[in-house]
Structure 1
Amino acid sequence: IKKHPIADRKLKTVTAEHLQAFLDLLTFGGEFPDGKVKKGYSKDYIHSFSAVLQQSFRFAVFPKQLISFNPMQYIKLKKQAEEVDLFSDDEVEEGTQPISHEDYERLIQYLEKKNPPAILPIQIAYYAGLRIGETCGLTWQDINLEEQCLTIKRSIRYDGMKHKNIIGPTKRKKVRIVDFGDTLTEVLKAARKEQLKNRMQYGELYHRNYYKEVHVKNRVYYEYYHLDGTQEIPTDYKEISFVCLRPDGSLELPSTLSIVCRSVAKKLEGFEDFHFHQLRHTYTSNLLSNGAAPKDVQELLGHSDVSTTMNIYAHSTRKAKRDSARLLDKVASNA
């Protein structure tokens, strides 16, 4: 918000029109104050911005009495239209490119020096295709190392309105089983061993992870907390043994991982557009390009429709298809 010109206005001169224009820009995208043209943000992200502004202006009205009314009460959060313009001149956007295995290894080497706690979730996403919230929500009870499979039943996300990390269902609200191979098996075994070692080294300062059940208006949700051994555990806290931990035992959260990915995009050559979800696209592309059945890949990914799976693959293989098409030029030149 501070980066936008609206932040430079005097409080009393900020109108509903200014706020509506700001939130519309975030929703639909366009040219931002830094001169860059960006896409609109997700619905959850927009609601986070709206919540901050609502509370801020409400506070300015009362108890501060700096303004007489809250201009945010007139704001309408709009939705991005899903219709396709059949006569648009816009080019079809290319999809997220998969990461080569060489680049993946280079990424791991970079993180070993810069941010080791991010390595395990990135390894899990690369070898099992999990979403960022699903990766962070994985517990050791969800993993069967002998059968080499994961049970995906929960996801973690940050709720901007509640200012809490919330444990909830997966995107499709369905439990799914994801099989994996020997490489991820060894990664998980090594991680488990490292965590037991950290627990011994940190002693009572080692953190345990908990969730708390919250009931609001006939709805139930679960808040995430972590406490070290010196802190008293509330009676309504239930312990949960997450897989992706920091050295002190606390959970490696999606918000932290997103920051790490943004840092990678800025500092690691060849990763300029990198984001965590790219690992899931890479997993999809790797399976399909090596002969996996699309229906099997759909079920491993938890997509609602096999066309979603195939669209990702189609976008990710644009370069290969272009190169194939240009083979005809070679045929023509040799004729």
Structure 2
Amino acid sequence: MQTISFENVADQWLTLKKMQVKPSTFVKYQTIWEVRLKPSFGQYQLVEISEEAVMTFFLDQMEKTSGSLLQTMCYLLKAMLGYARHKYGQPTISFNYIKLPPAKMRTSTLSHDEEVRLDEYCFSHCNDTSIGILLGLYGGLRIGEICGLKWADIDLEEGLIYVQRTIQRISDTSSTKKTQVVILDPKTPSSQRIVPLTDFMNQFLKKYQASQTDVVADHFLLSGSDVPLEPRTLQYRYHRICKKLDIQLTFHGLRHSFATRCIEQQIDPKSLSEMLGHADVTTTLKRYVHSSLSFKKEQMAKIKSAVLFAE
């Protein structure tokens, strides 16, 4: 077997992967390699990587690393070693004995009272920030998708939103700048979608449009120019409003809240899955839908005893 450092193997794998994944995903992989994996495996020759070394590494990491990050680290190391097996004849290293904790799903949603407070604030402030927040809460759009909307993507006659791009700030590996804002295709092919507007959101968008001095089809909805509003700017404004309203919820929690309310109001899960941009309905039900305790009680109240309530 050819003598080669594992760092060299990792660099080769990352170079190939860069052509296969979105820039933001590549930056994530590269960062995890540099910060998490390279300090422990970068100094090894490929032949020195063993199952014992891999097992020891993850046993140590499990005590101080989140489940989600552990899962990604495991994927990267396994993929890099798989590449080494095919190209350099590296013996197979089994990961079967590594049992990682599952990634924790975010479960927070707005309570009814919080939703009322946020509604009252946003609908009484017809501006770009309110529009952005309400599209998350009543459209289930991701923050990058909201910032990526142009006026041309909004059909107020038919009451439709066309999700065609997303805005992200990612690490810039090609210049001296630390990060850069990029305009990308949506997260996955299924994320490029058409989302119907509720009647009240359609009317509020018409009101917002009427308040603008110059509406250009190719300009971004929230910024009113050909330069998009940054997601972190919208996030900052959202958290400032939440602090004022005594609400503790991430911006992505608006998407959770939307999905949960839709299920509680018996909206078809398949339709909801498509509106959220998921490839299948299982992802929707598993990741985003969190019924409130009161809703669960209502559902349980529908169950009747065959004996006690027999006619």
Tell me, yes or no, whether TM beats 0.5. yes
1:182 aligns with 199
Deviation at residue 100 of structure 1 after TM alignment:
4.4
Q: Structure 2 counterpart of 1:257, which letter?
A: L
2: distance between equivalents of 1:117 and 1:261?
11
Q: Is the 8 A contact 2:133 2:238 kept in 1?
A: no
| Match in the other structure for 1:257 | 234
Q: How does 1:135-214 map to 2 (within 5 A)?
A: 135-161=146-172, 163-174=179-190, 175-196=192-213, 199=214
Residues 125-136 of structure 1 aligned to structure 2 (within 5 Å): 125-136=136-147
- Whole-angstrom CA distance in 2 between matches of 1:96 and 1:306: 18
**Corresponding letter in the other structure for 2:277:** G
- In 1: Cα distance, 2:115 partner to 2:298 partner: 25
Q: Match for 1:296 among 244, 252, 271? A: 271
1:173 to partner: Cα distance: 3.3
How many angstroms apart in 2 are the aligned matches of 1:166 and 1:86?
36
Number of aligned pairs? 225
CA contact (8 A) 1:132 1:254 kept: yes
Written as runs of structure 1 = structure 2, the 5 A alignment for 1:24-43 is none
Question: Which amino acid counterpart does residue 291 of structure 2 have in structure 1?
Answer: T
Which stretch of the first structure deviates more once superposed, 256-265 or 277-286?
256-265
C-alpha displacement at 1:313, in angstroms? 4.9
Counterpart-to-counterpart distance in 1, 2:31 and 2:122: 31
Does the 8 A contact of 1:108 with 1:119 survive in 2? no
CA distance in 2 between partners of 1:114 and 1:186 (Å): 14
TM-score (norm 2): 0.57
Match of 1:240 in 2: 218
Deviation at 1:114, TM superposition (A): 9.5
Please state how far the C-alpha of 1:86 moved relative to its aligned partner. 7.2
Which structure carries more helix by proportion?
2
Q: Is 1:287 aligned with 2:262?
A: yes
- Relative distance call for 1:93 and 1:153 in structure 2 (3 A) is closer
- Identity across the alignment (%): 27
Secondary structure of the residue that 1:96 maps to in structure 2? Answer: coil
More strand per residue:
1
- 1:189 Cα shift? 0.7
Aligned to 1:216: none
Contact 2:264 2:295 in 1 (8 A): no
Supply the distance in 1 between the matched residues of 2:197 and 2:282 (Cα, whole angstroms). Answer: 23
Aligned partner of residue 189 in structure 2, secondary structure: coil
Amino acid at match of 2:153: D
Extract unaligned runs of 5+ from structure 1.
1-41, 55-72, 201-207, 209-238
SS of structure 2 residue aligned to 1:81: helix
> In the TM superposition, what is the alpha-carbon distance from 1:266 to its structure 2 partner?
4.2
Cα offset, 1:275, TM superposition: 1.3
Per the alignment, residue 283 of structure 2 pairs with: 308
- Call closer, same or farther: CA 1:183–1:249 in 2, change over 3 Å: farther
Asked whether 1:96 is paired with 2:107, we answer yes
Q: Secondary structure at the match of 2:240?
A: helix
Q: 1:49 Cα shift?
A: 7.5
